[in-house]
Amino acid sequence: MHILVTGGTGFIGSHCVLELLQSNHTVTVISNLVNSVLALYGTPLHHPMKEEAVVAENITNPYGHSKFMIEKMLKDIAESNKHWNIICLRYSNPTGSDPSAIIGESSKGIPNSLLPYIGQVLSGKMPYLTIFGGDFNTSDGTGVRDYIHVTDVARANLCALNRIIEEKNIGFEVYNIGMGKGYSVLEIVEAMENASGKKIATKIMPPRVGDVPYLCCDPTLAAIKLKWTAQFSLEDMCRDVLNWQKKNAHGYVDDKNKNLKHG
- Host H or E run for residue 2: strand 2-6
Q: Give the integer Cα–Cα distance in Å for 86 and 184.
A: 33
Using CA atoms, how far apart are residues 65 and 61, in angstroms rounded to an integer? 6
* Catalytic annotation present for 63: yes
In whole angstroms, give the CA distance from residue 109 to residue 47. 34
Please answer whether residues 212 and 60 qualify as being in contact, where contact means their C-beta atoms are separated by less than 8 angstroms: yes
Tell me how far apart the 2 most distant CA atoms of the chain are, in Å: 55
CA-CA distance, 66 to 86, in Å (whole number)?
A: 18
CA–CA distance, 181 with 147 (Å, rounded to integer): 8
CA triple 131-133-137, angle to 5 deg: 135
The number of residues in the chain equals: 263
Which residue of the set 63, 91, 128, 175 is catalytic? 63
Quote the CA–CA distance of 5 and 29 in Å, as a whole number: 5
CA dihedral angle for residue 143, residue 149, residue 152, residue 157, rounded to 10 degrees: 70
Residues taking part in catalysis: 63
